[in-house]
Amino acid sequence: MTSHNQEAYRALRAYLTHLLTDPRDKALEDIPAPLRASVEAFMQGKTVYHDATDRPVIYAHDLAAWAHQVIHVSGLEYPIALATVDVDRLRQAMAA
């Protein structure tokens, strides 16, 4: 595994762990691209709301449930090419 891939894996894991306790709702478009399809699949049949600019927003407790499922139960439904992961963007997402 390359050093970037190791860093990307750690950043993805840190992001998922961060979601377990982050109390803030998030717009779907603010979910990092490699994870967005999994969140969309998880949210099928669940309630989302729209912000002032009509972006779909996901409740923090739903994101925490999704992150728990990915970390502790099923993993992601698809592989992520770690070489394509933007580590800095993941870190920014946790800081925002």
What residues are paired with 57 via a beta bridge? 27, 49
pLDDT of residue 47: 94
Q: Measuring CA to CA, which residue among 62, 33, 31, 34 is closest to residue 49? A: 62
For the entire predicted model, the pTM comes to: 0.91
Task: Report phi then psi at 56, rounded to 5.
Answer: -65, 135
Q: What is the pLDDT along the chain (96 residues), one digit of tens a residue?
A: 799 999 999 999 999 999 999 999 999 999 999 999 999 999 999 999 999 999 999 999 999 999 999 999 999 899 999 999 999 999 999 987
Extract the tokens encoding 79: 């592989």
Q: Are 30 and 93 in contact (CB under 8 A)?
A: yes
